[in-house]
Amino acid sequence: MDYSEFKCKWIEPVSLWTIADETRNKYWPESKLPVNTEEIVEFRLRLNIEPVKYLLSTIDIDAILKETCLEL
């Protein structure tokens, strides 16, 4: 798949902060730091974390959401 022409919809920064606050309140109501992202992803969002060897060094990203939307 060619992503060179991909354009992301512009979202105002204030809206992003609002969405982030709502999401954090929903999935991390403990409001303590550090935020345990693995717990949120695996147990609250019910996504499987599946390591991909050399992902960061190959395409410079930490994680991908697979087509099934069930694995990260």
In a domain, 55, yes or no: no
Question: How many domains would you assign to the chain?
Answer: 1
In a domain, 62, yes or no: no
Domain membership of residue 17 (yes or no) is: yes
Place 71 in a pLDDT band, splitting at 50, 70 and 90.
low
Confidence of residue 13 (pLDDT cuts 50, 70, 90): very high
DSSP 3-state assignment of 71?
strand
Of 66 and 25, the structure prediction assigns the larger pLDDT to: 25
**Does residue 19 form part of some domain?**
yes
Distance (Å, rounded) from C-alpha 56 to C-alpha 72?
14
Contacts of 42 (CB under 8 A, 6+ apart): 48, 49
Task: Identify the pLDDT of residue 31.
Answer: 86
- pLDDT given for residue 49 in this prediction: 81
For residues 49 and 41, give the distance between their C-alpha atoms in angstroms, rounded to a whole number: 8
Q: Is the pTM of this model over 0.75?
A: no
Q: Would you say residue 72 lies in a domain?
A: no
**Does any domain span residue 8?**
no
Range of the domain at 38: 13-47
Cα-based distances in Å from 17 to 7, 10, 28, 67, 68: 21, 14, 15, 27, 28
- 3 domain residue, yes or no: no
